[in-house]
Amino acid sequence: MDEFSRLWSAAVVSRLGDALRNAALPLLAVGLTDSPLLVSLVTAAGYVPWILFGLLGGVVADRVDQRRAMWAVDAVRGALVAAFAVAVWLDQAGIVLLLGLAFALTCLQTLFDNAATALLPSVVPADGIGRANARLMTGQVVAGTFLGAPLVPVLIGVSAALPFGVDAVTYVIAAGLVASIRIPAPGRAARPAGRTLRRDIAEGIRVLWQDRVLRALCAANTLANTGVGALVATLVLHVTGWLHAGHGGYAAVLTAYGVGSALGGVVAGRISARLGRTRVLASGLVLQTVLLVVLGSTRSLPVAITVMAVYGGCGMLWNVNHATLVQERSPAALLGRISAANRTTSIAGAPLGALLGGAAAAAWGLNTPALLAAGFFGCAAVALIPGLGSHSGEESISLELQPARRGVD
């Protein structure tokens, strides 16, 4: 097994465990409390750590050996989830413990995800980063959507603790796979005396701002993710209320989205090679805008299923090309911070979008969040315009590793 195959296997196994836990946590929360606010806090706990610590995670990822950081984080997460599984099995898991677990796991994820983004270019050749991202993301979608989600009711039927126990095992397996990757330890330039976390974070943000393509990508990603938050938070209401399609219709829409995402990953390499990454990103945003307008204007379940399948494919094309452009344009020593800034701003947009979507649904009807999301995607397409044409044939901006360096995401 080559080094990328080990990384891919670790990502897929870990995503399977995440899918089990993410589906089981809200179900467990509903059984522990009848307070909608407390149940919603379980989801919020998955966003807040990114807003608080996302930039810090990027700095740490740039300072340490990313491979070691990844397997160490997975080992700690495995221990935490295993302990929680035991608490559930003993009927000792209260809502406070559940919230604490969700918060702690996401805090650790801020380091893991940024380190993983920075590690990938060390594992594959420079011309293979796009294909590697497509394979990684497609494998994760398949594991989470088509393997993890159907397993949850089966495992819970055996024991409420079982999904968490399996998740703990996947963390341990993933940690072992990442630890087995054999690549040279990254070279680190000596940091100037008096260098602080704040200055490192500021350096990364400054580099992101100075690079026209990266700046446009970050702005577009944040706006699009705000639209995604509005759509996802109210999609169940849209399908069951606006379309009157019931739970079966909702399951069909989610399945279509998963299938479209997986197919998008399969064709991402060929489409990007033919059109170029920035053109794929821009045309995808325009197409998603149109799709969301159609979704918000129709009462046909078959049309909604088709829309969500194509929307999922466009989303995967965005994810693959966005991640690849960030990795290609960023200096290796700053990639963790660039990735962190991008993730932090885009993730912050999701809860804002969810609140706006809920307010729009309450004020103007259950179909309006889809139309609101279309507006955000249209704005994202406009925000991407300054980056168009600036990437083709252009290398990453070279940086000094001393005082005046650039940082991205």
> Within 13 A of 15's CA, how many CA atoms are on the CB side?
19
With residue 68 as reference, give the H or E element that holds it.
Answer: helix 66-89
Q: How many of the other CB atoms lie within 10 Å of CB of 399?
A: 18
List the end-to-end C-alpha distance of the chain, in Å, as a whole number: 32
Question: Any idea what the CATH number is for the domain that residue 16 is in?
Answer: 1.20.1250.20
pLDDT in tens, the chain (409 residues): 688 899 999 989 988 988 888 878 877 877 777 665 676 677 667 778 888 888 888 888 888 888 899 999 999 999 999 999 999 999 888 888 988 898 899 899 888 888 888 888 888 888 888 889 999 999 988 888 888 878 888 888 899 899 999 999 999 999 999 999 987 765 555 556 556 778 888 888 898 889 999 999 999 999 999 999 899 888 888 998 899 998 788 889 988 999 999 999 999 989 988 988 888 999 999 999 999 999 999 999 999 999 999 999 999 999 999 999 999 888 888 888 898 888 888 888 888 888 898 899 889 999 999 999 999 999 999 999 988 765 544 433 333 323 233 233 3
Query: Same domain, yes or no, for 10 and 86?
Result: yes
Asked if the structure places residue 194 within a domain, the reply is: no
Query: Same domain, yes or no, for 276 and 342?
Result: yes
Query: Same domain, yes or no, for 277 and 138?
Result: no
Asked if the structure places residue 197 within a domain, the reply is: no
Last residue of a domain, one of 182, 214, 241: 182
Query: Same domain, yes or no, for 116 and 235?
Result: no
Asked if the structure places residue 188 within a domain, the reply is: no
* Domain limits for position 138: 3-182
What is the separation of C-alpha 126 from the centre of its chain, rounded to a whole number of angstroms?
23
Per DSSP, the three-state class of 64 is: coil
C-alpha torsion sign, points 164, 165, 171, 173: negative
* Spatial separation of the C-alpha atoms in residues 323 and 342, rounded to whole Å: 10
pTM of the model: 0.82
Domain count, the chain: 2
Last residue of a domain, one of 153, 182, 211: 182
Asked if the structure places residue 113 within a domain, the reply is: yes
What is the separation of C-alpha 37 from the centre of its chain, rounded to a whole number of angstroms?
24
Asked if the structure places residue 33 within a domain, the reply is: yes
Query: Same domain, yes or no, for 114 and 228?
Result: no
Query: Same domain, yes or no, for 55 and 153?
Result: yes
